[in-house]
Structure 1
Amino acid sequence: MGTSHWRPGLDPRAERHTAEAPLTPATGARTGTTRGVVVVGGGIAGLTAATGLAERGVPVTVVEREDTLGGRVRSWDVELPGGRAGSMSRGFHAFFRQYYNLRSLLRRADPALERLRPVDDYPLRLADGPTDSFARIPRTPPLSIAAFVVQSPSFPMSALRRVDVGAALGLLDVRFPETYSEYDGVSAADVLDRLRFPEQARHLALEVFARSFFADPREFSGGELVAMFHTYFTGSAEGLLFDVPDAPYDEALWQPLAAHLRRLGVNIETGREVAALDERPDGVAVVLADGGVLEADAVVLATDRAPLQRLVAGAPWLGDEGWRSRVAGLRIAPPFAVWRLWLDRPPAAGAPPFLGTSRFGPLDNVSFVEQMEDGARAWAREVGGCLVELHAYAVSPSPDEGALRAELLAQLHRIHPELEGAQVLHDEWLVRDDCPLAGTDPWADRPGVTTPDPRVVLAGDGIRCEHPVALMERAATTGWLAANALLRDRGLVGHDVWTVPTRGRGQAAAHAARRLLTRR
């Protein structure tokens, strides 16, 4: 098959977005850029930008404040009883098949993506209610939508009659980036209210999307929610199932990628924090907290939101007043908690590796890590136990740790009563509040990849992107786009990116879905 017919996944409608043509000396290409680029942040966005630049011959230094790479998808070693090695992370992440640009990054070190393994089901359980599944749902809309509604216990016929079918099918007729702005000022909760979906479906099948951003649906962008419907369900033929790494993130993903980058000549500095940016007549100086200074032609800021705001505030030469004010006004999502428990007892046979939950108090999902990672599986077999991970999103700003732990454990036992009384052999607990909030503010006002200064570009999952991407895929996509902006400025060819279709299935698909739904 020729390269013109190649697609990054199973969806024949996946869209290729070609990088802009590079500048020439006549159109303003920068010449004499020999000191390279400093990438601030070694998460997905920063590693992607570094890859995109290094593969075109640009010297790159990556500076990461933590001791391991991966950003919010990093992992680190912990010691278990008896001196055995274990691992902790900031929590479970689903590697959906729609994550074309993230998968492109991972293929640099793992061409066949052999370190990812499929999870067969993605059940969603409502307390005192039904459990939904996406395992047997057709991938292609509108059949996927109709089949889900027909099969789902969350859509009883009596409740389905109250649904605003017109508004629901309007989700098939979206276009990006325009749809983002059309929902300015509208929250995810507002969108769910307009749809008039059954209460069970609202809390189980829909609200789960909003909470994957660690956000309360009343404060989360309605445009982002609609984009997620489109990306994962109504606009993509990849389905809603996903893969997970077969080992901790650092081992399976980031160490191999770091080795690839070093072979390209990239200098990776971990355990070093950036304190400030200084302007130079022909570039930027990156000042480190330990007193070191890195001179560069340009900088990629691929940091969390708070460090980005701090660095911009400390660089008055960067941007105009309006842009700087918009960066300063960006908000952080509420805190989230992750609790890993090494137990001496296994769950009941058939327990899913991942379960999304709704109305189980603060508990948002349950993962059994030994069903995903080989090392955890070996430990569980040795002790006859399990490694369970509990998530609580959008917790209070200053949570009572003891009370929150007690409630999470009670809800775990409610779902898995067979684990009540199990001995906790080891546990790891963390609470973080560093995720960006995609709020109801105007989409166009959010900072994008380029800044008022061509020497500085931004990347990350909190950076505005015109494409229908989110979470890890937005981090990777903006990383490629940040590299492209600097490459174009240097007269170098950039990297194409792929997305799910940027237009919905339109009126024809909506009409077909309406016919299928009304037959029920």
Structure 2
Amino acid sequence: MPHSVAVIGGGIGGLTAAHELVERGFDVTVYEAGDRFGGKARSMPVTEGPAAGEDPLHCEHGFRFFPAFYQHLPETMARIPFEPTGGTVADNLVSTSETLVAAVDGPEQVADLSPPKTPGQWIQSLQPAFADELPPEDVTFLTERLLYVLTSCEQRRAEELDEQSWWEFVDAEERSPAFRRRIATITQALVALRPRRASARTMGTIYLQLLLGQLDPTEPTEHILNGPTSTVWIDPWIESLAEQGVDFRTGAAASDLRLGQRGRRIDAAIVDREPIDADDYVLAVPAEVAPNVLSDRAQRADPQLARIGRLDTAWMNGIQFYLSEDLPLVAGHQVYTDSAWALTAISQRQFWNDEVFDVGARGDPAVEGVLSVIISDWSTPGSRVDKPARECTPEEIKTEVLAQLGDHLNREGERLSEDLIHDWVLDPELEPAEVGVENNAPLLINTAGSLKNRPDAATGIENLTLAADYVRTNSDLASMESANEAGRRAANDVLERSDIRAAPTTVYELTEPGVFDPLKLHDRMRYRLGRPHQGDAIRRLLPSGPTGRPAD
């Protein structure tokens, strides 16, 4: 009999595990509680309004973003056929070249994403796009802090930096008001997380990865998709896996993983109130769902499972505006630095392949452009509506988002007007509630001290493994990349204890400049001896000299 695996959850982690396992000869079934696969990454046909119709436009939880440090996800995508072109879905990744950094109180900037060519430009690249708005000492200090991360050993990052908030690590209370505003912008645009709660380890590492992504002249700094996510990636993935033998079940919610009498193995998964038998089980549901599926007995059998419930989530959901006129704005993403709701956006049609997904031929032909916006702060009152987004009706959310965008874009002439909005759709995972909206798909956030609560893919239960973005990964940040890496780790765990002989799937390390390896090695010795980081060494790397910070 083939070795059977039940994958509980059809997001990126679950689909990745299924992909790696079926390629190695396992009999795989994927159970998804919803009606579509892909988790928060999926796009969905619009069901109401002008954007709907016989061949509807798509809406989404939020736009997809593939920075240069992603390694696992592009490799997986390169193994998924895309029949319309005869290539793979990786061919549907297209590069951006700019980022719009818009402000209400300061100058609008367009950041060039091309790599630096000189050592001076390299040091400059460590400085944020908003450096011109800050006092020089703040810019120097932030650069020093980033170099502190870059020269710290892994153990110091995990045990010292993860216990610190990003706010504390960058000494925000002692910096300028502009510095504090921009630091908040960075964290909320990346992870929907206030800097006072964000892990310094995660924020420092990922911020560096984003900056270092600009240094490789052979690769674009970031990619996006050339069409709606499900059309150009998820649906072809499902079709390919089904052709290889994966069985897919939708509307199949798991309620329990039933431990056997000895408490060492899962005897069955309860899906739609019916027992499902398999040799192995891969749990790939979100962090807020996992504790409801893992019984008290299972959590006692492996204490790391009990700690999943301590992880935090936040809201980071999107709204799409379908425009009567295309509005490219910039050849990349847009960051609205003074928006109360921490808005980021992208004008998508300029990047989409009309042969694959022609906006003009779908839904209402009056639609010419798509502006996809993500709201990362749902707790701060708006500038027009004096209440947070989570307490607003969908109509109020739409009105407030347009107002905040207009405050940034229309300072020197109207670029975005109400007249351009032909239709709009709020993330379908947001449902009207008694007060405002409720969120069925919150985002895992990397808070200070959260690393110790994140489990490994392998568990203390013999035939249970985990494949979701809360698993400990090299990628770290809760993201599609981390979920993909977790799915690979889960597949390797299942493979290791099976009788199937096949090569494990590749798990990549984050890459950082090798020039800093000697300093990391030196720091590892210092950390083992209980000594602090040698801050003076990194200050000497800065052309402007010391920052006035006390010596460690």
Distance in 2 (alpha carbons) for counterparts of 1:145 and 1:197? 24
189 and 151 in structure 1: CA distance in 2 versus 1, 3 angstrom threshold: closer
SS at match of 1:411: helix
Q: CA deviation at 1:295?
A: 0.7
Distance in 1 (alpha carbons) for counterparts of 2:18 and 2:253? 17
Q: How many residues align?
A: 483
SS at match of 2:74: helix
Q: 1:431-462, CA deviations, whole angstroms, 9 ceiling, x for partnerless residues?
A: 33521122112523322212111211112222
Q: 1:125-162, CA deviations, whole angstroms, 9 ceiling, x for partnerless residues?
A: 33322345542552689666523368955236843367
Corresponding residue to 1:182 among 146, 150, 160: 160
Distance in 2 (alpha carbons) for counterparts of 1:126 and 1:240? 26
Task: Tell me, yes or no, if the aligned pair for 1:468 and 1:499 is still in contact at 8 Å.
Answer: no
Distance in 2 (alpha carbons) for counterparts of 1:372 and 1:294? 43
Determine if the alignment matches structure 1 residue 387 to structure 2 residue 370.
yes
Determine if the alignment matches structure 1 residue 426 to structure 2 residue 423.
yes
Task: Tell me, yes or no, if the aligned pair for 2:347 and 2:371 is still in contact at 8 Å.
Answer: yes
Task: Tell me, yes or no, if the aligned pair for 1:98 and 1:499 is still in contact at 8 Å.
Answer: no
Q: CA deviation at 1:482?
A: 0.8
In the alignment, structure 1 segments of 5+ residues that lack a partner are: 1-32
Distance in 1 (alpha carbons) for counterparts of 2:305 and 2:507? 28
Residue 90 (structure 1) aligns with:
61
Q: For 1:477, give the aligned amino acid.
A: E
SS at match of 2:481: helix
Distance in 1 (alpha carbons) for counterparts of 2:74 and 2:266? 32
Distance in 1 (alpha carbons) for counterparts of 2:369 and 2:512? 42
Distance in 1 (alpha carbons) for counterparts of 2:67 and 2:213? 14
376 and 178 in structure 1: CA distance in 2 versus 1, 3 angstrom threshold: farther
Determine if the alignment matches structure 1 residue 167 to structure 2 residue 149.
no
Tell me the TM-score normalized by structure 2. 0.78
Q: 1:225-257, CA deviations, whole angstroms, 9 ceiling, x for partnerless residues?
A: 012023222488447831111121111111111
Determine if the alignment matches structure 1 residue 218 to structure 2 residue 183.
no
In the TM superposition, 1:130-141 aligns within 5 A as 130-138=107-115
Q: CA deviation at 1:500?
A: 2.6
Q: CA deviation at 1:328?
A: 2.5
502 and 469 in structure 1: CA distance in 2 versus 1, 3 angstrom threshold: farther
SS at match of 1:460: coil
Determine if the alignment matches structure 1 residue 68 to structure 2 residue 68.
no
166 and 411 in structure 1: CA distance in 2 versus 1, 3 angstrom threshold: closer
Q: 1:108-135, CA deviations, whole angstroms, 9 ceiling, x for partnerless residues?
A: 1146521111112123333322345542
Q: CA deviation at 1:324?
A: 4.2
98 and 163 in structure 1: CA distance in 2 versus 1, 3 angstrom threshold: closer
Tell me the TM-score normalized by structure 1. 0.82
Q: 1:464-484, CA deviations, whole angstroms, 9 ceiling, x for partnerless residues?
A: 224556511111111101110
In the TM superposition, 1:106-125 aligns within 5 A as 106-110=77-81, 113-125=90-102
Q: 1:329-370, CA deviations, whole angstroms, 9 ceiling, x for partnerless residues?
A: 22222x2342112222343x6444420121222141122122
Determine if the alignment matches structure 1 residue 293 to structure 2 residue 271.
no
Q: CA deviation at 1:36?
A: 0.9
SS at match of 1:180: helix
In the TM superposition, 1:487-502 aligns within 5 A as 487-491=495-499, 492=501, 493-501=503-511
Q: For 2:64, give the aligned amino acid.
A: H
Q: CA deviation at 1:421?
A: 3.4
SS at match of 2:36: coil
Q: CA deviation at 1:89?
A: 0.9
Distance in 2 (alpha carbons) for counterparts of 1:269 and 1:45? 16
In the alignment, structure 2 segments of 5+ residues that lack a partner are: 82-86, 380-387, 431-438, 520-536, 547-552
SS at match of 1:422: helix
In the TM superposition, 1:31-110 aligns within 5 A as 34-79=2-47, 80-81=49-50, 83=53, 84-110=55-81
Q: 1:270-304, CA deviations, whole angstroms, 9 ceiling, x for partnerless residues?
A: 23211221234775312112x44321111111111
Task: Tell me, yes or no, if the aligned pair for 1:36 and 1:298 is still in contact at 8 Å.
Answer: yes
Corresponding residue to 2:391 among 391, 396, 399: 399
